Amino acid sequence: MGGRRRPTMADVAREAGVAAKTVSRVLNGEGPVAAGTRERVLAVVGRLGYRPNLMARNMRVGAADATVGLVVPELGNPFFGAVAGGVERVVRARGLTLVLGCSSETAALEQALIATFLARRVSALMIVPSAAAEHRHLRAERAAGLPIVFLDRPAAGLTADCVVSANRQGARTGVAHLLAHGHRRVGFIGDRPAGLHPRRERFQGYRDALEEAGLPADRALVATGHDREAAAAAARRLLALPDPPTALFTGDDLATTGAVVALSGAGRRDVALVGFDDPPLAECLDPPLTAVAQDPAGMGVAAAELALSRLDGDRSRARRTVIPTRLVVRGSGELRPAPGAPRPAPS
């Protein structure tokens, strides 16, 4: 019990009465090996419980390690869990192993993780950058040929591949859905730091939709909440305005659930709601929630495929892949504006 030295290839070789290289050949199915020798070697391998040391192999082969590094802000968040799942599937299918770290949305932790991964000589790097992070320091790595793909949010201070949701278009479609049902005052509630890429883009999409409809952008209808409770409070605040919105558009999952809590808590079945991210029980709500669904697993898959194509030698210029969103219409976006509000007939 307890920590006997692991058998090495040399042990196997000695025991089998062959040279180490022969063991290597057997294990890697390389050059020609006599059937008898092969069997003898495999028998010893089994008996000794020998496991090849991948680190040693990689080092000798000189190649980068057969791993890709992924940094996400938080694994507990189902969105990033799904992203990581997508990455893992692709990476694994290619025979690579996923090395994973959580930055807790902290630039310092993110950088430490990246440093660790680089020291491990990962074959590729995929990063969901935290809000405050800076990536200038990765320029040399990129120049040296390391594939680096940013996920969900673009890099700061670095031109690099990037995979994002169709945030702006998705928000525009969601808000347009509300406008198409007669709403003229639509509130916006965002949660993630206002400077964050997805939040900015979604807000832009909100404004795009208003502008297309010839409606003014009223700053009083824009609110922010840093968590579910804050988002709920923001929703209540908006609804308490002298000239309140008749519909809400929420910019992310926390804001959406916050708004749902606020509306259901207040019994306000008359306020329409459309929001980013499609939570599992959306269709069980009353009214059923109309949502802009993202495809996090698809984002992970796309990012991993992009990284692998770089690994395969694709040297074309950095590109941004946009993963479409999908408006899932279930009813909460079709409520009528509160009585008294202007209500043009749909064209």
Residues engaged in binding DNA (CB under 7 A): 5-6, 8-10, 17-22, 24-25, 27-28, 30-34, 36-38, 52-53, 56-57, 59-62
Q: Which residue do the tokens 């799942």 mark?
A: 85
How many residues make up the chain in this entry? Answer: 347
Q: Which is nearer to a copy of itself, 222 or 274 (by Cβ)?
A: 274
Cβ nearer to DNA, comparing 57 with 89: 57
Judged by beta carbon distances under 5 to 8 A according to partner kind, the member of DNA, a copy of itself, none in contact with residue 25 is DNA
Are residues 190 and 203 in contact, defined by beta-carbon separation less than 8 angstroms? Answer: yes
| Environment class of 286 (CB within 10 Å of its CB; exposed 0-12, middle 13-18, buried 19+) | exposed
The rounded distance, in Å, linking the Cα atoms of 259 and 274 is 10
Residue 344: name its binding partner from DNA, a copy of itself, none (Cβ under 5 to 8 Å by kind).
Answer: none
Quote the least distance from Cβ 49 to DNA, whole Å.
Answer: 12
Token code pair at residue 316: 């074309």
| Residue with smaller CB distance to a copy of itself, 219 or 315 | 315
At 118 the three-state DSSP class reads: helix
Question: Which H or E run contains 201?
Answer: helix 197-212
Q: Output the CA angle 65-86-74, nearest 5 degrees.
A: 85
Instruction: Please state whether beta strands 326-328 and 290-293 pair in parallel, antiparallel, or not at all (unpaired).
Output: antiparallel
**Which residues, in sequence order, are bridge partners of residue 149?**
126, 161
In the complex with a copy of itself, which residue's Cβ is closer, 3 or 340?
Answer: 3
- Cβ of residue 140: shortest distance to a copy of itself, in angstroms? 5
- Per partner kind, with CB cut-offs from 5 to 8 A, the member of DNA, a copy of itself, none near residue 22 is DNA
Q: What angle (nearest 5°) sits at the alpha carbon of residue 335, between those of residues 333 and 339?
A: 140
How far apart are CB 35 and DNA at their closest, in Å? 8
CB of 15 to DNA, least distance (A): 12
Dihedral sign for Cα atoms in the order 261, 264, 267, 271:
positive
CB of 45 to DNA, least distance (A): 10
Q: Which residues bind a copy of itself (CB under 8 A)?
A: 1-4, 6, 49, 51-56, 58-59, 65, 67, 74-78, 80-82, 84-86, 88-89, 92, 97-102, 113, 115-121, 140, 143-145, 257, 260-261, 264, 279-286, 297, 315
Q: Which does 81 bind (CB under 5 to 8 A by kind): DNA, a copy of itself, none?
A: a copy of itself
Closer of 66 and 215 to DNA (Cβ):
66
Angstrom distance (rounded) from CA 69 to CA 336:
49
Binding partner of residue 94 among a copy of itself, DNA, none, CB under 5 to 8 Å per kind?
none
Tokens 């709601």 found at? 273
Cβ 345 to a copy of itself shortest distance, Å: 32
- Report helix angle 9-16 to 20-28, nearest 10: 110
Specify which residues 127 forms β-bridges with: 71, 150
Query: Which residue's CB is nearer to DNA, number 2 or number 36?
Result: 36
Which of 251, 153, 254 lies closest to 206 in space, CA to CA?
251
298: partner contacted, choices a copy of itself, DNA, none (Cβ within 5-8 A by kind): none
Binding-site partner at residue 193 among DNA, a copy of itself, none, CB < 5 to 8 Å by type: none
